[in-house]
Structure 1
Amino acid sequence: MKKKLFILGIRGVPAQHGGFETFAEKLSIFLTSQGWSVTVYCQEEGEGEIWRSDWNGINRIHIPVVQTGAKGTVIFDWIAIRHALSEDGLFLTLGYNTAIFNVMQRIKGQVNLINMDGVEWRRDKWGLIAKVWFWLNERIGCYVGQHLIADHPRIKDHLATRVSSRKITMIPYGGDDVSAADPAYLERFALNPAEYSIIIARPEPENSFLEMVGAFSSKKRNHKLVVLGKFSPDINRYHQQVMDCASSEVIFVGAIYEPLIIQALRFFCRFYLHGHRVGGTNPSLVEGLGASCAVIAHDNPFNQWVAGPAAKYFSDQATCDDLLDRLLNDDCAWHKMKADSYSRFAERFTWGAILVEYQQLLDAWYPSLNSD
């Protein structure tokens, strides 16, 4: 009989939204190839009955939700977890944002492993009510999950202040090995290889956009900075501040979701600027390493462990400015940083290794389904 895994906590597969969806897609396809039966709960827009489909051998349970945004996600999680109570198998929940609903699974006796993601309640973008919600759900997730997964050593250390470290396994996020890309994708942005640097992130204060764009724009660089992300300056003051401080050499291209275009933009960039200050193993940083990007990153323990000595680090706008002054025209340093980035990627973040670690963890927990 096939081992059965149900994946909760994401919007669905194939991936269209973010890192967790990409991971779920990779894991589902891999486990299916290893003989598992994998079911993924998928959020759909609109109203109607729950329905099922098959995608690449993966079972999908589609749940229509009328509401949008955070409210829609909470409602989707509520319906998905209630539906999952009637299923038999092992459960993997990605994220703890609605862990209070997972209490039902614990009462039912289902075995649920929870990937605890980052320390969401520390993010600057959330107001007090949201921070309290995330803080409470982090605590609940620590206790209702039979086992926890941390994607970074510092996240494991943080969770170990809540529960025993024996209850936590550290498995980082993975990335694709990008050894080549099509330079034709640069033409739509009027870019040439190595004549631009890039930022790929949500434009939020905790991701240091103001510091990075401000540093780059402090003087004429004879170089372009390409910024990927959805900006809404009419309704978001921070977005307006970032765009106001940008020089004419900064190009805001909006949000781009086509993987081949993003891979090409990464692969041919001079530097990848990564300003995340909060979180664990950031998917975009890992993907930058996998594309052999020379990385300039915010100086904090999360980024330091992921990129290691391959990257150069800044702490504020002035130190970012100084790094750009020193590195933009230093070909020797640039080539070494690119080689070191790929070495770090190959050492720890390839999908092949990451997925095997997950399979071993799931295999170890599967016998517990019949332990009672």
Structure 2
Amino acid sequence: MKIGILGTRGIPNNYGGFEQFAEFFSTYAAQAGHDVFVYSPHNHPYNETVFEKVNLIKCYDPEHKIGTIGQFIYDLNCIIDSRKRNFDIILQLGYTSSAFWYDLHPKNSLVITNMDGLEWKRTKYSKPVQKVLKIAEKLAANKSDYLISDSLGIQQYLLNTHNKDSEYIAYGAHNFDTPNEAILSLYHVEKHHFNMIMARFEPENNLDMVLEGVQLSADEKPILVIGNHNTKYGEYLKNKFKNCKKIKFLGAIYNLNHLDNLRYFSNLYFHGHTVGGTNPSLLEAMASQALIVAHNNLFNKGVLQENAFYFNSSIDVKKIIDATKKNDNLQFVKNNFEAIATKFNWNKINEEYLQFFSKCLARNSRRAKAK
């Protein structure tokens, strides 16, 4: 198959979840003999034209000059370029800034969209922007040839809201089983004597609720708060909890080995996300053998099942902190670790994508051909 991947800030990944998936999937597919192309912004720091057998196409992205509107222009540039490539499959990752250009996709390529999460529910967006994102979601759902949901919750939502079937293919992670306790000294914490939370500083990730529970708790273990806090919401949280000495704002950490070890040696790992499908950081926490305390919603429960503690309020957080130790709940940890190995490992996920692409081509007369 000739596959084009659109909708990311390029590979190798230096940004986020879709970019990480694009890197893992594209290199897997290329190694399997497929002709794979990934679109990247013109100013991506990797300047070669090939990355591990994956062809890279750079398109102009003015976001650094004009802000968010630049994403729409970048997506348009990528779609226009795709019209001359004769792709069998165009994998469109997300829809927030590309859906309004869907009619410009090449007609002889199958457009398969990973619908991501409920972007319009993100509170960082104003009400008018949320309305626009709802329109974008509807356009992507109706104009794509096929849809992919990375969580069962999103799959059900698309069926209920847009009457659209979608293929459930989860996100992936790599199991971590090589801990190095020496790394803890870099962060001035001790094994199982700290808790942590890692998230973008956005209200729907419930940092405020978790940190209120920490403040109320009688337990004196510090909590490491990992994520870029140099934002308006970050300043609000730092000011609100400035007198709570056990709350440690560390900023963003991009060293995966450090993150894996922090998760592995933490007592409790809080996951407050409420918007989205299968969240990458949640799978990474499972793969790192953390004991997870998650916000009680269908996205998190769809992944964790009964192998986590759940909270709906800061009082819930307080009670869990005061009563819960990792060493008393190792079966939860083991079950989640095994789920990564059996259900959420990258090789399985990547192969499911390729099999789905093949099925889509076989059942669609426009692109059905002898392979």
TM-score, normalising length: structure 1: 0.91
Q: Does 1:25 align with 2:23?
A: yes
**Is the CA contact 1:40–1:59 (under 8 Å) kept in the aligned structure 2?**
yes
Residue by residue, what CA displacement relative to the aligned partner does 1:192-230 show, whole Å, maximum 9, x if unpaired?
Answer: 222211111101111110110111122452312111111
Deviation at 1:52, TM superposition (A): 6.9
**Is the CA contact 2:287–2:337 (under 8 Å) kept in the aligned structure 1?**
yes
Partner of 2:101: 101
Residue by residue, what CA displacement relative to the aligned partner does 1:329-363 show, whole Å, maximum 9, x if unpaired?
Answer: x6323x23322321333342111211111110012
1:95-134 to structure 2, matched below 5 A, reads 95-97=94-96, 98-105=98-105, 108-134=107-133
**Is the CA contact 2:278–2:303 (under 8 Å) kept in the aligned structure 1?**
yes
Partner of 2:137: 138
Aligned with residue 331 of structure 2, among 329, 333, 336? 336
**Is the CA contact 2:174–2:345 (under 8 Å) kept in the aligned structure 1?**
yes
Q: Does 1:227 align with 2:225?
A: yes
Aligned with residue 315 of structure 1, among 290, 312, 329? 312
Separation in 2 of the partners of 1:181 and 1:103? 49
SS of 1:91's partner is: strand
1:34-45 to structure 2, matched below 5 A, reads 34-45=32-43
Separation in 2 of the partners of 1:221 and 1:154? 35
Partner of 1:255: 252
Cα pair distance change 1:134/1:222, threshold 3 Å: same
Deviation at 1:183, TM superposition (A): 2.8
Residue by residue, what CA displacement relative to the aligned partner does 1:28-80 show, whole Å, maximum 9, x if unpaired?
Answer: 1110111101100001339xxxx970111110011232332422222211111
Cα pair distance change 1:184/1:44, threshold 3 Å: farther
Residue by residue, what CA displacement relative to the aligned partner does 1:151-204 show, whole Å, maximum 9, x if unpaired?
Answer: 111111111135444x41011111111112333332221122222111111011
Letter of the 1:356 counterpart: E
1:56-95 to structure 2, matched below 5 A, reads 56-68=52-64, 69-89=67-87, 90-95=89-94
Separation in 1 of the partners of 2:273 and 2:63? 30
Partner of 1:354: 349
Partner of 2:177: 179
State the superposition RMSD in angstroms: 2.0
Cα pair distance change 1:297/1:207, threshold 3 Å: same
Partner of 1:161: 160
Deviation at 1:258, TM superposition (A): 2.0
SS of 1:136's partner is: helix
SS of 2:59's partner is: strand
**Is the CA contact 2:286–2:340 (under 8 Å) kept in the aligned structure 1?**
yes
Aligned with residue 263 of structure 2, among 266, 269, 276? 266
Deviation at 1:244, TM superposition (A): 2.1
Letter of the 1:143 counterpart: N
Partner of 1:365: 360
Separation in 2 of the partners of 1:66 and 1:141? 23
TM-score, normalising length: structure 2: 0.91
SS of 1:30's partner is: helix
Matched residues, number: 360
Q: Which residues of structure 2 form unaligned runs of 5+?
A: none
**Is the CA contact 2:62–2:71 (under 8 Å) kept in the aligned structure 1?**
no
Separation in 2 of the partners of 1:323 and 1:171? 32
Separation in 2 of the partners of 1:110 and 1:152? 25
**Is the CA contact 1:231–1:254 (under 8 Å) kept in the aligned structure 2?**
yes
Question: Identical aligned pairs, as a percentage?
Answer: 27
Separation in 2 of the partners of 1:79 and 1:243? 42
Runs of 4+ in 1 over 4 A off after TM superposition: 162-165
**Is the CA contact 1:175–1:350 (under 8 Å) kept in the aligned structure 2?**
yes
Separation in 2 of the partners of 1:237 and 1:352? 37
